[in-house]
């Protein structure tokens, strides 16, 4: 059932980024404030539904490549996207992990209105860490990954369900990247570069469609914990796509989610799927990812067995889901005009 839409007029602050010279990439922004009045629709986003999608993934067991629980979860995700009338491509490949183990991976890509040129790319990783290297017990066992992986996927499944209902005039591609979390532990030597984000690296080398383009991308990673906060991620998002960061954070503010989306920059992400989408596909992409003030990195249960359904909060899911869905619907309205 469709709920009544709330219309909000809001003045947003966007920042224009000055161009640097060819010889030097500036890390500072020439921030020219410009107020723009826009209209935001508060969308229907069901956090109960998103929670169920997360729990279903966790109930399959750890989604580690080469395991039965991984295969079963992949089949479930592809089937759910098809049930929402998305065109689905299951991109299978083989990659090599940091320990030279061969991993059978599957990137799952669902497309809405594939014929449109104006597109938004939404993505998350669906695999789980094969070991709990940040834990003090059972470090050799895989984790549930309720927040780290399943939360972003669950929110995107609910967004896909709402898109089929709202039918915005914008193309949307939902990517579930595999093998993001099979990276080399910090205590393993010698160091090998680019061992994380193997699914997205595979995709940028083997796009599912020739000459694929999107206007921009939004990555969701660890977005379901109670009272989670999401600063503007400085290392990659603000480097490659500051205007998209400011757009999305402005939508969050318009919807009343400033207690989650912080208007400050933090340097805490070294590598995530959006790095390769930005650097190698040249699609400006941002990361909505949890920040913990105490660790100045991620949550204390990151890569531990405490990353289970007990750390998933429906209020946080709603704040993130509403923000991303409202951004998509706003873009769709733009192309209706």
SS3 call for 224:
coil
- Which residue ranges of the chain lie beneath pLDDT 70? 1-39, 336-337
Q: Are 41 and 333 in contact (CB under 8 A)?
A: yes
Whole-angstrom distance, CA of residue 263 vs CA of residue 214? 26
Buried b / exposed e along 64-96 (16+ C-beta atoms within 10 A): bbebebbeebbebbbebbeebebebbbbebebe
What pLDDT, on a 0 to 100 scale, did the predictor assign at position 307?
98
Q: What is the pLDDT of residue 333?
A: 86
Cis-peptide into 190, omega within 30 deg:
yes
Nearest-angstrom CA–CA distance, 123 and 120: 10
Alpha helices, DSSP H only, in the chain?
47-60, 68-83, 151-166, 198-205, 237-240, 242-254, 273-279, 314-334
Would you say 292 and 298 are in contact if contact means Cβ atoms under 8 Å apart? yes
Residue with the two structure tokens 């603000």: 238
The b-or-e profile of 107-135 (16+ CB within 10 A means b, else e) is bbbbbbbeeeeebbbbbbbbbbbbbbbbb
In the Cβ-directed half-sphere of 328, how many Cα atoms lie within 13 Å?
31
CATH fold, domain 46-334, is Aminopeptidase (3.40.630)
User: Strands across the sheet with 285-289, in order?
Assistant: 87-96, 102-112, 171-177, 119-125, 216-221, 285-289
From residue 52, give the alpha-carbon distance in Å to each of 68, 155, 209, 315.
21, 10, 31, 14
Contact predicate 147/221, CB 8 Å: no
- Give CA–CA dist 50/162, Å, rounded: 11
Give the domain ranges of the chain.
46-334
What's the token pair of residue 201? 């690296």
- Residue 7: the pLDDT is 35
The model's pLDDT over 220-272, given as tens digits with 9 standing for 90+, comes to: 999 999 999 999 999 999 999 999 999 999 999 999 999 999 999 999 999 99
Burial of 33 (0-12, 13-18, 19+ CB in 10 A): exposed
| 285 close to 274: Cβ distance less than 8 angstroms | yes
pLDDT of residue 40: 83
């Amino acid at each position: 059932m469709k709920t009544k839409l709330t219309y909000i007029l809001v003045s947003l602050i966007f920042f224009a980024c000055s161009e640097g010279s060819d010889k030097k990439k500036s890390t500072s922004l020439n921030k020219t404030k410009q107020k723009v009045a826009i209209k935001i629709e508060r969308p229907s986003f069901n956090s109960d539904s998103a929670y169920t999608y997360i729990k279903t993934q966790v109930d399959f067991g750890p989604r580690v490549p080469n395991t039965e629980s991984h295969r079963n979860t992949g089949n479930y995700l592809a089937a759910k996207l098809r049930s929402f009338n998305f065109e689905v491509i299951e991109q299978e490949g083989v990659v090599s992990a940091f320990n030279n183990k061969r991993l059978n991976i599957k990137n799952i890509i669902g497309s809405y209105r594939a014929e449109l040129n104006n597109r938004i790319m939404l993505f998350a990783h669906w695999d789980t860490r094969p070991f709990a290297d940040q834990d003090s017990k059972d470090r050799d066992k895989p984790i549930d990954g309720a927040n780290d992986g399943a939360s972003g996927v669950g929110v995107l499944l609910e967004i896909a369900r709402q898109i089929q209902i709202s039918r915005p005039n914008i193309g949307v591609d939902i990517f579930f990247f595999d093998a993001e979390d099979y990276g080399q532990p910090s205590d393993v030597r010698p160091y090998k570069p680019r061992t994380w984000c193997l699914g997205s690296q595979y995709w940028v080398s083997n796009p599912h469609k020739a000459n694929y383009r999107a206007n921009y991308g939004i990555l969701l990673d660890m977005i379901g914990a109670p009272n989670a906060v999401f600063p503007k991620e400085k290392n990659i998002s603000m480097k490659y796509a500051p205007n998209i960061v400011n757009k999305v954070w402005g939508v969050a503010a318009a919807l009343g989610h400033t207690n989650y989306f912080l208007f400050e920059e933090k340097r805490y992400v070294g590598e995530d799927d959006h790095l390769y989408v930005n650097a190698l596909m040249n699609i400006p992409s941002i990361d909505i990812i949890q920040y913990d003030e105490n660790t100045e990195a991620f949550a204390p249960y990151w890569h531990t067995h405490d990353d289970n359904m007990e750390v998933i909060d429906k209020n946080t899911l709603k704040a993130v889901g509403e923000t991303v869905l409202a951004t998509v619907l706003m873009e769709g309205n733009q192309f209706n005009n």
